[in-house]
């Protein structure tokens, strides 16, 4: 059974991400060092020169973990952050209800595994895995649900237009009641229900609830979970916030990078704004707009002069929320971080930011594309291979799979229609050359006759292909049924299903298997076989 395929050979990733994975020299200017074990000492050297307020960071983290009683290993890691030889590997994600899609889990496992690999390679340093909670995000529709099967979504109906971390989880008992009959009969269903209750039915904020949930899943690995929406942490970011407000560094530098990307036919994930901060109030998170010499908070009556804005920054730094392009700079300003682990879209926009980091003189971290996986059953593998397909073909487009099935079942003497077309054109050349000297007005008619012939043969090729497809319709239908099982809602499994789909039957073995299988620096999509008795 083939179990892995290089990311750059898959259609899931953008041209820019593939260029990065292939270390294309065209984009060398967009990052510092490519992530290999051998390159980490260089990043450590760069990061060691940056002033990080480690005591401040530890103080905030200890406060945030005050109510968690079984955080021994995590608290040890937090204390290590005081030491100059301790560094972090970080991933970040939104506060999805019950973790949302599978790749939330994959990001964290990738982060933990990389710190383990680094600890073995460089024992004179300490490496701490960090999950950065996107507590200031306000896109409620993206996080208020999770899918437990193709047609069953668990949804938290609420109306939120402010920083989601502050939302209280009161009212989620209805969802608990909805989940009970679904999970009660599963091997680890009661464990999932207890997790949900501990996280969401204690009256916490969504930020605290997410910390409780993620800690339950990863406490044995010493994962540190950080809510950066904190006055003390934001206070250390004031100098950069002031400079950004005054000079619009992000806008200027990213515009230049985006122009470079467009000129070289690469995608741009995010477009910068003049001011890349939101203003937080108790009930809203609104963009800050610059109009002449004034700063206005969108959809409000709040207005600041330049002097008033400086005073507000000094007095209330916690009210200023970085957007998607500013958040990486905030992260790398307060953490002794060496690498960021993210998905394809995240890597895309991080690659837009190297110029910004250079301007602010903050070391740019290594960018690691998170691990990905597709879970399959033994039965699905048997059916798939019976069709003459390899397991890595499961990662192909539907049309690619159809072509593979048709090609392997068609007669061996298939003509090369492109070659035949070229031969016809060659046959007509002498006639055209002769006609030039006899009567040039006849050449359009000669070319028209050739085109009619080409159209006829194209018609017959299409007809023969349709016959082949019909002849293989049973195999094509069986392949499509299996693919539909593996791609719920026509989405990548990891982007749609919740971890509970697998945890309910496997328990903690689900995460342990991921930890055993994942290699964050291999950049491979893994195909993982479920235990014989398991299905989804």
How does pLDDT run across 360-413, given as a tens digit for each residue?
999 999 999 999 999 999 999 999 999 999 999 999 999 899 888 888 776 666
Confidence of residue 223 (pLDDT cuts 50, 70, 90): very high
Kindly report which listed range (164-173, 319-328, 422-431) carries the lowest average pLDDT score: 422-431
Which among 293, 266, 433 has a CA at the least distance from the CA of 352? 266
523 DSSP β-pair partners: none
Mean pLDDT of the chain: 93
Helix boundaries (H) for 390-508: 398-409, 417-438, 443-471, 473-486, 493-496, 500-506
**Dihedral of alpha carbons 276, 357, 103, 195, sign:** negative
Report pLDDT for 122: 98
Mean pLDDT over residues 319-323, rounded?
96
For residues 342 and 104, what is the distance between their CA atoms, to the nearest angstrom? 10
* 3-state secondary structure (DSSP) of residue 358: helix
Residue with tokens 């017959």: 460
Which among 198, 281, 211, 169 has a CA at the least distance from the CA of 60? 211
| Per-residue pLDDT at 526 exceeds 80 | yes
Confidence of residue 533 (pLDDT cuts 50, 70, 90): low
Confidence of residue 424 (pLDDT cuts 50, 70, 90): confident
* Rg of the chain on CA atoms, in Å: 28
**Dihedral of alpha carbons 329, 160, 489, 154, sign:** positive
Helix and strand numbers (H, E) in the chain are: 24, 15
Report pLDDT for 432: 81
Mean pLDDT over residues 425-433, rounded?
82
> How many other CB atoms are there within 10 angstroms of residue 170's CB atom?
11
Confidence of residue 22 (pLDDT cuts 50, 70, 90): very high
CB 250 within 8 A of CB 356: yes
295 DSSP β-pair partners: 290, 304
Q: In the Cβ-directed half-sphere of 8, how many Cα atoms lie within 13 Å?
A: 11
Please tell me what DSSP assigns to residue 489: G
Mean pLDDT over residues 160-188, rounded?
93
Kindly report which listed range (66-70, 325-329, 416-420) carries the lowest average pLDDT score: 416-420
How does pLDDT run across 377-391, given as a tens digit for each residue?
999 999 999 999 999
Cα 258 off chain centre by: 20
Residue with tokens 């293989």: 472
Mean pLDDT over residues 10-39, rounded?
96
Residue with tokens 């060691």: 48
More confident residue, 467 or 207: 207
Confidence of residue 4 (pLDDT cuts 50, 70, 90): confident
| Per-residue pLDDT at 201 exceeds 80 | yes
Cα 136 off chain centre by: 18
How does pLDDT run across 40-84, given as a tens digit for each residue?
999 999 999 999 999 999 999 999 999 999 999 999 999 999 999
Give, rounded to a whole angstrom, the gap between the first and last alpha carbons of the chain. 20
Mean pLDDT over residues 326-339, rounded?
98
More confident residue, 408 or 133: 133
Report pLDDT for 416: 73
Residue with tokens 């024992």: 123
CA distances in angstroms from 336 to 1, 87, 363, listed in the order given: 41, 5, 10
In the chain, % of residues over pLDDT 70: 98
More confident residue, 196 or 405: 196
Mean pLDDT over residues 238-264, rounded?
96
The phi, psi pair for 90, rounded to 5°, reads: -125, 145
**Dihedral of alpha carbons 24, 360, 139, 273, sign:** negative
Report pLDDT for 412: 63
Report pLDDT for 2: 64
Model pTM greater than 0.75?
Answer: yes
For residues 186 and 148, what is the distance between their CA atoms, to the nearest angstrom? 13
| Per-residue pLDDT at 467 exceeds 80 | no
> How many other CB atoms are there within 10 angstroms of residue 181's CB atom?
9
Crossing angle for the helix pair 473-486 and 398-409, nearest 10 degrees? 150
More confident residue, 105 or 531: 105
Mean pLDDT over residues 142-168, rounded?
91
Report pLDDT for 463: 78
* 3-state secondary structure (DSSP) of residue 10: coil
For residues 394 and 416, what is the distance between their CA atoms, to the nearest angstrom? 28
């Amino acid at each position: 059974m083939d179990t892995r395929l290089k990311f750059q050979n898959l259609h899931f990733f953008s041209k820019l991400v593939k260029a990065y994975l292939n270390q294309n020299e065209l984009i060398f200017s967009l990052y510092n060092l490519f992530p290999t074990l051998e390159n980490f000492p260089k990043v450590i050297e760069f990061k060691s020169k940056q002033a990080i307020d480690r005591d401040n960071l530890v103080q905030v983290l200890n406060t945030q973990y005050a109510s968690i009683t079984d955080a021994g290993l995590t608290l040890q890691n937090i204390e290590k952050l005081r030491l100059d030889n301790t560094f972090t590997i970080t991933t970040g994600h939104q506060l999805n209800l019950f973790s949302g899609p599978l790749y939330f889990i994959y990001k964290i496992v990738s982060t933990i595994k990389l710190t383990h690999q680094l600890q073995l390679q460089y024992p004179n340093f300490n490496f701490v895995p960090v999950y950065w909670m996107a507590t200031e995000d306000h896109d409620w529709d993206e996080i208020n649900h999770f899918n437990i099967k193709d047609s069953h979504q668990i949804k938290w109906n609420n109306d939120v237009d402010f920083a989601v971390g502050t939302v209280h989880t009161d009212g989620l008992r209805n969802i608990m009641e909805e989940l009970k009959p679904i999970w009660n009969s599963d091997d680890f269903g009661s464990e999932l229900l207890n997790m949900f209750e501990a996280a969401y039915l204690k009256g916490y904020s969504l930020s605290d609830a997410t910390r409780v949930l993620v800690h339950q899943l990863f406490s044995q690995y010493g994962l540190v979970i950080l809510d950066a929406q904190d006055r003390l942490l934001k206070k250390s970011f004031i100098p950069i916030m002031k400079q950004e407000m005054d000079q619009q560094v992000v806008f200027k530098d990213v515009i230049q990078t985006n122009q470079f990307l467009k000129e070289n036919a690469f995608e741009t994930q995010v477009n910068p704004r003049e001011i890349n901060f939101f203003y937080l109030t108790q009930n809203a998170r609104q963009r800050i707009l610059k109009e002449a010499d004034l700063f206005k908070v969108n959809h409000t009556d709040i207005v600041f002069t330049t002097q008033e804005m400086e005073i507000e920054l000094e007095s209330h730094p916690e009210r200023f929320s970085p957007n998607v392009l500013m958040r990486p700079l905030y992260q790398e300003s307060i953490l002794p971080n060496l690498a960021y682990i993210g998905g394809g879209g995240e890597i895309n926009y991080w690659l837009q930011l190297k110029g910004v980091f250079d301007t602010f003189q903050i070391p740019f971290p290594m960018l690691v594309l998170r691990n990905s996986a597709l879970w399959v059953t033994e039965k699905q593998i048997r059916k798939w291979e019976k069709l003459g397909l390899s397991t890595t073909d499961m990662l192909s487009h539907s049309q690619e799979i159809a072509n593979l099935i048709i090609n392997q079942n068609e007669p061996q003497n298939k003509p090369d229609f492109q070659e035949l077309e070229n031969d016809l054109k060659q046959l007509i050349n002498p006639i055209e050359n002769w006609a030039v000297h006899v009567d040039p007005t006849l050449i359009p008619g000669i070319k028209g006759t050739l085109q009619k012939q080409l159209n006829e043969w194209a018609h017959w090729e299409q007809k023969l292909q349709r016959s082949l497809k019909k002849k293989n319709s049973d195999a094509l239908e069986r392949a499509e049924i299996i693919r539909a099982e593996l791609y719920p809602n026509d989405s990548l499994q990891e982007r749609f299903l919740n971890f509970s789909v697998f945890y309910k039957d496997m328990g903690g073995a689900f995460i342990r298997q991921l930890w055993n299988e994942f290699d964050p620096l291999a950049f491979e999509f893994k195909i993982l076989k479920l235990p014989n008795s398991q299905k989804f």
